Chains A and B, each alone.
Chain A
């Protein structure tokens, strides 16, 4: 509905909402993360969930021990190539709709280990990431900011129409191929359908 009309009605004490807004409001305020940490970023994630930073204020304190009950994956830490297939498999086993926060320099790009042979250069090569947080490690405030960004995105999702989210599109896959250990690297090294490397534009 027209936002101007809504604010006009609100001035007169009449609150109107849509089912979509109500649904998204409930969904964005009850994000249940999957309880797993990969490296030092997990310590900051744990700190964010504890009393000092208190992730419970955002309804996201219920860390689930099973992917069947979780709808948010916080990739907190260095994803080694040994660990990447497990992370992708866990993502695949989560129920729709599901979201991913890549937390820290390692999870978004490989970080300080980018030149190494055994670290994945960003988990977004295999699974679709909704929010990237830079930092080594990011402070709990940064994770909270990422969570609020994700909440905002969920609140703005439309359930129908051409720009509906991934999980409502029949043509989008529900699970992504799990990489396997090859002789030198993971096979395939990336999922070209979801990974689009940033193009570097240099002035001519």
Chain B
């Protein structure tokens, strides 16, 4: 034990270390005991059906790693337009009275960019239902 080190750290931190060890043991010992008990009294019986995918009892076919339809990007863009707009518009509106001219111009530029996306989506017919 380094006597200089303990003098610098102080005795207050020893309690913390004891707490840390106690916390680790509190978590790990029951897990270890459960593992030990399971090893003896709950022998695993693996098999191809048991380890298979759970599909409500049906056999799963195909792969989950398949490409999704790329036209869903439209939803992402429209969501971005409305969601990001509202996130920035609300603080802008709250702080509007005390803003310098530069900040208002920057905000207008940002709004122009977002509205541009909205106009593009609108003209593409994305907003039309069915």
**A interface, CB within 8 angstroms of B:** 23, 66-68, 85-87, 89-90, 92-93, 96-97, 159, 167-168, 170, 173-175, 178
Contact check, A167 vs B54: say whether CB atoms are below 8 A apart.
no
Known: A93-B52, A159-B41, A168-B41. A87 touches B46 (CB 8 A): no
User: Is chain B's interface secondary structure helix, strand, loop, or mixed overall?
Assistant: loop
Contact check, A168 vs B43: say whether CB atoms are below 8 A apart.
yes
| Bound-state Cα–Cα, A174 to B43, Å | 10
In this complex, how many residues of chain B approach chain A with their Cβ under 8 Å: the count is: 15
| Bound-state Cα–Cα, A97 to B42, Å | 7
Contact check, A167 vs B52: say whether CB atoms are below 8 A apart.
no
Contact check, A86 vs B57: say whether CB atoms are below 8 A apart.
yes
Contacts of B50 in A (CB 8 A): 92-93, 174-175
Known: A66-B54, A68-B54. A89 touches B43 (CB 8 A): no
Q: What sequence of 0s and 1s flags, for each residue 27-66 of chain B, a beta carbon within 8 Å of any chain A beta carbon?
A: 0000000000000011111110110101011110000000
By Cβ-Cβ distance, the 4 closest A-B pairs, closest first, are A174-B45, A86-B57, A92-B49, A175-B47
> In this complex, which of A85, A87, A92 has the most chain B Cβ atoms within 10 angstroms of its Cβ?
A92
Contacts of A159 in B (CB 8 A): 41
Contact check, A86 vs B58: say whether CB atoms are below 8 A apart.
yes
Contact check, A92 vs B47: say whether CB atoms are below 8 A apart.
yes
Contacts of B59 in A (CB 8 A): 89
| Bound-state Cα–Cα, A89 to B58, Å | 8
Contact check, B45 vs A87: say whether CB atoms are below 8 A apart.
no
**B interface, CB within 8 angstroms of A:** 41-47, 49-50, 52, 54, 56-59
Known: A89-B57, A90-B57, A93-B54. A23 touches B49 (CB 8 A): no
| Bound-state Cα–Cα, A93 to B45, Å | 11
Contacts of B41 in A (CB 8 A): 23, 159, 168
Contacts of A178 in B (CB 8 A): 49
Besides A87-B57, A92-B47, A93-B54, 7 new A-B residue pairs in contact (Cβ under 8 A), listed by A number: A67-B54, A85-B57, A93-B52, A170-B43, A173-B47, A175-B50, A178-B49
Contacts of A173 in B (CB 8 A): 45, 47
Contact check, A175 vs B58: say whether CB atoms are below 8 A apart.
no
Contact check, B45 vs A86: say whether CB atoms are below 8 A apart.
no
> In this complex, which of B42, B47, B52, B57 has the most chain A Cβ atoms within 10 angstroms of its Cβ?
B57
| Bound-state Cα–Cα, A167 to B46, Å | 12
| Bound-state Cα–Cα, A186 to B123, Å | 58
